[in-house]
Structure 1
Amino acid sequence: MKSIIFEQTGKPGQILKATEVALPEPGPNEVRVKVIAAPINPSDIMFVQNLYGIRPQLPSGAGFEGVGVVDAVGEGVQIPTGTRVSFSGVGSWSEYALAHEKALVPIPDEISDDLGAQLFVNPFTAYAMVQDSGVPEGGWLLVTAVGSAFGKLVIQLCQMRGINTIGTVRRDDLNEELKALGLTEVINVETENLAARVKQITDGVGVACVLDAVGGHTATEALTCLAKGGTIIIYGLMSMQDPTINAGLLIFRELTIKGFWLTDWMRRVDSQTRQDVAQNVVRLLASGKIQLPVEASYPLDQITEATEHAERPGRRGKILIKP
């Protein structure tokens, strides 16, 4: 079978290649999935560059999630072969992949393959972070880099809960699309003063929470946008620069800075919470209330073109690998 393998870490376009490998056999509590589609997420790109919380064991497969059909099962597995599932685990950019039974979510017919491929990383993260933000109905939430797939999910989830959202962008070409999804206010950080605009929008109060994926100057400015007792949750570092922390701001506004990593969140919460989130995400996707657009799909042999497209600015949807 073909699988995307890398033997050293670095830029995806330079080190990833489709390689013929042996068909894997599932061990106890594992299944083998015949992969239909798998997305390219920022976490996948970081993993290949050895910049992620999980370090690759070389040679390594790539891709953290996907959708497919259970092809074979190991000892102790209850799910039957032929079941279409969303799955998570290292190595989804492949014709076949292994996954633990607990990392499977059976998906109904109402959810397309393109949606099912994206069911885990972004929807689970968005749902969990909106929950953790603690922003009440009528409150304000600030999302940096709101044009991302994650940002668009947060907008839609917040609209359903009656939470007002402010999103930052660097270009104005997505503004109308973001407003149509439910974004309350948009701020172009290249042309506008973030703190001044947030103060104006919130009548001088500030936002209850910031969800930040950028770090650097953007996160530093976002801290000043928090209301007294507010929280910034950092889940990414797109700028590859750490924010500057103003200790006086933290002390006198009683602010909180937290990190979020879905892998740890999944370990931290109980099984009932994980099941509840999975059921809610599946229900929302099946209802059509949540949109996860796809911009393009590529076969395994075009992995270089696929990763380059995924890192291109201004995308309007996810890039998928379809073996």
Structure 2
Amino acid sequence: MKSVIFEQIGRPVDILNVTDKALPEPGPNEVRIKVIAAPINPADIMFVQNLYGIRPKLPSGAGFEGVGVVDAVGEGVELQTGMRVSFTSIGTWSEYAIAHHRALIPVPDAMSDDVAAQLFVNPFTAYAMVQESGVQEGGWLMLTAAGSAFGKMVIQLCKKRGIKTIGTVRRDDLNDELKSLGLTEVINVETEQLAVRVKDITGGKGVSCILDAVGGHTATEAQKCLSKGGTMLIYGLLSLQDPEINVGLMIFRELTIKGFWLSDWMQRVDSQTRQDVAQNVISMLASGEIQLPVEATYSLDQIKEAVEYADRTGRWGKILMKP
């Protein structure tokens, strides 16, 4: 079978290669999945560069999620072959992948392969972070990198809940689309003063929560936009630069700044919360209530072109690998 492999740490375009491997056999509690499609997420790119919370064991496969059909099951697994599932694993950019049976989510017929391939990482993180933000109907939530696939998901979720949103961008070409999804206000951080604009928008109060994926200067400035008792949840570092923490603001506005990682959150919450998240996310995606657009698809042999495309600025949809 064909599989995307890397044998050293580095830039994805330099180190990712397609290799022929033997078909893997599932062990106890595992299943083998014939992969239909798998997205390229920022977490995948960080993992290849050894910048993620999970460290690669070289040589390693790449890709954390996908959709496929159960092809074989290991000992202790009571699942039927032939069922279509969304799944998480390491090495989903492959013709076949091995996953633990608990990392599978059966996909309803109403959900397309393109949506099912993206079911876990962005939708679950977005839903969980909006929950964790504590922002109520009528309140203000701000998100950086609003034009990302994750940002668009958050915007749509907040619109459903009646939460007002401010999104930051570096270009204005997606503004109309973001507004149509439900973004209340958009701020271009290249041409506008972030804290000044947020103060104007919120009547001087600021926002009660910020979801930040950028870090660096943007996150540093975003701290000034928090209202008293506000919280910043940091879930990414697209700039690859740490923000400066304003201790004075933290003390006198009683701010909270903390990280968010879906893997830890899913382990921390109770099983009922996990089930509620899954049911709500699947329902919204299957019904088309929430959109997850796809911009381009590539074969495994085109992996270098695919990761180059995924790194472009101004994209409006996800990039998928389709073996």
Counterpart of 1:229? 229
Counting only pairs closer than 5 Å after superposition, residues 3-14 of structure 1 correspond to structure 2 as 3-14=3-14
Query: Alignment partner of 1:289: what SS?
Result: coil
**Which structure 1 residue ranges, 4+ long, deviate > 4 Å from structure 2?**
none
Counterpart of 2:286? 286
Counting only pairs closer than 5 Å after superposition, residues 30-45 of structure 1 correspond to structure 2 as 30-45=30-45
Counterpart of 1:302? 302
Query: Alignment partner of 2:320: what SS?
Result: strand
Counterpart of 2:275? 275
Counterpart of 1:238? 238
Counting only pairs closer than 5 Å after superposition, residues 139-158 of structure 1 correspond to structure 2 as 139-158=139-158
Counterpart of 2:135? 135
Counterpart of 1:55? 55
Give the whole-Å Cα distance in 2 for the aligned partners of 1:292 and 1:80.
28
Displacement of 1:237 in angstroms is 0.5
Give the whole-Å Cα distance in 1 for the aligned partners of 2:208 and 2:17.
45
Give the whole-Å Cα distance in 2 for the aligned partners of 1:86 and 1:164.
31
Give the whole-Å Cα distance in 1 for the aligned partners of 2:269 and 2:27.
26
Give the whole-Å Cα distance in 1 for the aligned partners of 2:146 and 2:84.
31
Displacement of 1:159 in angstroms is 0.2
Counterpart of 1:89? 89
For the pair 1:181 / 2:181, whether they are aligned, the reply is: yes
Counterpart of 2:249? 249
Give the whole-Å Cα distance in 2 for the aligned partners of 1:260 and 1:21.
35
Counterpart of 1:23? 23
Displacement of 1:246 in angstroms is 1.0
Displacement of 1:300 in angstroms is 0.3
Give the whole-Å Cα distance in 1 for the aligned partners of 2:30 and 2:265.
22
Range that drifts further, 238-247 or 121-130: 238-247
Displacement of 1:281 in angstroms is 0.6
What is the one-letter code of the residue matched to 1:181? Answer: L
Counterpart of 2:168? 168
Give the whole-Å Cα distance in 1 for the aligned partners of 2:99 and 2:218.
37
Displacement of 1:258 in angstroms is 1.0
Give the whole-Å Cα distance in 2 for the aligned partners of 1:267 and 1:29.
19
What is the one-letter code of the residue matched to 1:206? Answer: G
Counting only pairs closer than 5 Å after superposition, residues 189-228 of structure 1 correspond to structure 2 as 189-228=189-228
Give CA-to-partner distance per residue, 1:98-138, whole Å, 9 cap, x none. Answer: 11111110011110000000000000000000000000000
What is the one-letter code of the residue matched to 2:193? Answer: N
Displacement of 1:270 in angstroms is 2.1
Give the whole-Å Cα distance in 2 for the aligned partners of 1:173 and 1:78.
49
For the pair 1:99 / 2:99, whether they are aligned, the reply is: yes
Counterpart of 1:322? 322
Displacement of 1:271 in angstroms is 2.2
Give the whole-Å Cα distance in 1 for the aligned partners of 2:298 and 2:37.
10
Give the whole-Å Cα distance in 2 for the aligned partners of 1:274 and 1:40.
24
What is the one-letter code of the residue matched to 1:255? Answer: L
Q: TM-score, normalised by structure 2?
A: 0.99
Give the whole-Å Cα distance in 2 for the aligned partners of 1:56 and 1:272.
31
Displacement of 1:272 in angstroms is 2.1
Give the whole-Å Cα distance in 1 for the aligned partners of 2:46 and 2:4.
15
Displacement of 1:238 in angstroms is 0.6
Query: Alignment partner of 1:224: what SS?
Result: helix
Give the whole-Å Cα distance in 2 for the aligned partners of 1:316 and 1:248.
38
Counterpart of 2:259? 259
Displacement of 1:275 in angstroms is 1.6
For the pair 1:2 / 2:10, whether they are aligned, the reply is: no
What is the one-letter code of the residue matched to 1:262? Answer: L
Size of the aligned set, in residue pairs, is 323
Give CA-to-partner distance per residue, 1:176-197, whole Å, 9 cap, x none. Answer: 0000000000000011000000
Give the whole-Å Cα distance in 1 for the aligned partners of 2:228 and 2:8.
46
What is the one-letter code of the residue matched to 2:82? Answer: G
Displacement of 1:38 in angstroms is 0.1
Give the whole-Å Cα distance in 1 for the aligned partners of 2:274 and 2:299.
32
RMSD between aligned residues: 0.6
Give CA-to-partner distance per residue, 1:232-287, whole Å, 9 cap, x none. Answer: 00000011111111111000000000100111112212222212111111000011
Give the whole-Å Cα distance in 1 for the aligned partners of 2:191 and 2:177.
19
What are the ranges of 5 or more consecutive residues in structure 2 without an aligned counterpart?
A: none
Give the whole-Å Cα distance in 1 for the aligned partners of 2:38 and 2:154.
21
Query: Alignment partner of 2:172: what SS?
Result: coil
What is the one-letter code of the residue matched to 2:186? Answer: V
